[in-house]
Amino acid sequence: MAVIDRVLIGEALVIEERPDGSGLDLKNVAHIDLIMGPRGSAAEDAFCRTLTDQKEGVNGLLAIVAPNMMVKPSTVMFNKVTIKDGRQAVQMFGPAQRGVSMAVMDCVADGTIPVEEADDVFICVGVFIDHKADMDDRVQDWNYEATKQAIKAAVAREPKAVNVLKEYKNSLHPFAARSKEERNRRSNDAALALAIEQMKSRNPLTAQTEISEAADKAISEMRSRKANVEKA
């Protein structure tokens, strides 16, 4: 029985601290949206449309390990952020492409995608590259990690709906706005609220620190989910 017998969906986010310890590296964050499926499925249709429907600032390109060495399964990449300049285009066609391609091939090498199915599977990978991305090594390494994680999650059919249902209300998103309840949690005590406002006036980075702490927890949860996928 084929492992990839239908359209499968995968997603993954990879982010770490800036090298100088100044907070999350939002400039080089990697986020992958991925669909994959067998020949004759909607994934093959999406692959062909993505590769042929080129628009200004939004481009599809085949994933290659190196020139004249296209990956198998056949994989098309598309950008989720409009490409505005040559630097960003080179990052898409260079380090991001290399990272995605190596992840696909490593998933074949380790058996996640059976080699006997690889010639008849199609993958579409949405890549996020921020306009301010400034570290090509992170663009490459993090897109590699995110693509590999997304493929493994897709093949494992993770996450399961029953698990999302159990966890979604208590899960944190590293970039989410705080809810009304969270914003009001500290305002019950007027004195404490005033002290916090005074503290913020002395340190304009306080708000960023609070967001960073929530993001740290969210990232910890994300890594835990990644570990569960790898065990599956």
For residue 35, give Cα distances in angstroms to 5, 9, 123, 163, 214: 13, 5, 6, 21, 30
pLDDT of 212 higher than 70? no
Percent with pLDDT over 90 in the chain: 62
- Residue 87 is assigned to a structural domain of this protein: yes
The mean pLDDT of the chain is 85
pLDDT at residue 65 above 60? yes
Among 30, 31, 150, 218, the active-site one is: 31
Residues 83 and 124 in one domain: yes
Beta bridge partners of 126: 33, 78
Could you tell me if 12 and 63 lie in one domain? yes
Q: What is the mean pLDDT of residues 136-162?
A: 96
| Dihedral sign (CA 222, 223, 228, 229) | positive
For residue 14, give every residue at least 6 positions away whose Cβ sits within 8 Å of its Cβ, in sequence order, or none.
29, 30, 31, 142, 143, 145, 146, 149
Average pLDDT over residues 146-167: 94
pTM of the complete model beyond 0.85: no
218: containing domain:
160-232
For the cut 90, the answer to whether the pLDDT of residue 231 exceeds it is no
In degrees rounded to 5, what are phi and psi of residue 8? -120, 150
CA 203 to chain centre: 32
In eight-state DSSP terms, residue 19 is T
Identify whether 3 is part of a domain: no
- Bigger pLDDT: 17 vs 196: 17
Rounded to whole angstroms, the Cα distance separating 72 from 76 reads: 11
Alpha helices in 68-205 (DSSP H): 86-91, 97-109, 115-118, 136-155, 161-167, 180-184, 190-202
Parallel/antiparallel/unpaired status of strands 74-79 and 121-127: parallel
Q: What is the mean pLDDT of residues 143-147?
A: 96
- Choice between 224 and 139, residue whose per-residue pLDDT is larger: 139
Q: Once rounded to an integer, what is the mean pLDDT over residues 115-128?
A: 98
Instruction: Give residue 197's pLDDT.
Output: 56
Grade residue 161 by pLDDT with cuts at 50, 70 and 90.
very high
CA distances from 17 to 21, 123, 209, 212 (A): 6, 30, 13, 10
> In terms of domains, do 110 and 150 share one?
yes
Secondary structure class of 121 (helix, strand, coil): strand
Rounded mean pLDDT, 145-159: 95
How many separate domains does the chain show?
2
> Are residue 71 and residue 141 in the same domain, yes or no?
yes
Give a yes or no: residue 86 inside a domain.
Answer: yes
Looking at 53-67, 71-85, 107-121, which range is the least confident one?
53-67
31 is catalytic: yes
pLDDT-based confidence at 213, cuts 50/70/90?
low
Residue 44 predicted with pLDDT over 90: yes
State how far the Cα of 90 lies from the Cα of 133, in Å rounded to an integer: 12
3 pLDDT band, cuts 50/70/90, is very high
CATH of the domain at 39: 3.30.230.60
